[in-house]
Structure 1
Amino acid sequence: MENRVEFYRMSKTSNPKILNRITEQILKAGFSGNIKVYDLGLDDEASMSLIVEGTYENEDCCVAVGYGMNRQNLAIRKKWFRHAP
């Protein structure tokens, strides 16, 4: 399956270079499939708070992550399973 990353409500940046780096980090962390990234808007100058929805560790789930702007890396904060519709 091809990996596809979509960004929603990215309030802090629409800079393609930063979005590409976030995509690279998400895939490196082990996410796969159709991935949705939501910006929570709880940011400061040095970081962004994101929710990543997709397949992680072979499970469909949501993961809260922090993205450090200076270090350009992701930090996994919390994982939970998606609720059934």
Structure 2
Amino acid sequence: MAPFEEQSLRDIAERLRREDPGLARALQEHHPVHPRRRHRRWPAWALLVLAVAALALGMVLPHGLLVATGLVLVGIAANLFDPLPPKPRPRPR
């Protein structure tokens, strides 16, 4: 293998270790975790069902607080569907 190819593979491996140390460790031990197990989505689906129920109930019974609660819960559920956690912000010096 050419030296530049080896260097690019090392760079990729180092970036994987920094971004997802759990996956890097699992690959090193030859026991990778299935992606569906790493990012469980049942809490997001349950919250989405609850949010839609609150939103529908708030529209059937004209109650503004239920509508607002449903909208807020839909936003939270949508955030839970995001598979990647937010990256930490660099500290100002």
What is the TM-score of this pair, normalised by structure 1? 0.22
Using CA pairs under 8 Å that are at least 6 residues apart, name the structure with larger relative contact order, 1 or 2. Answer: 1
Which is richer in helix?
2
Please tell me whether Structure 1 or Structure 2 has the larger radius of gyration of its CA atoms: 2
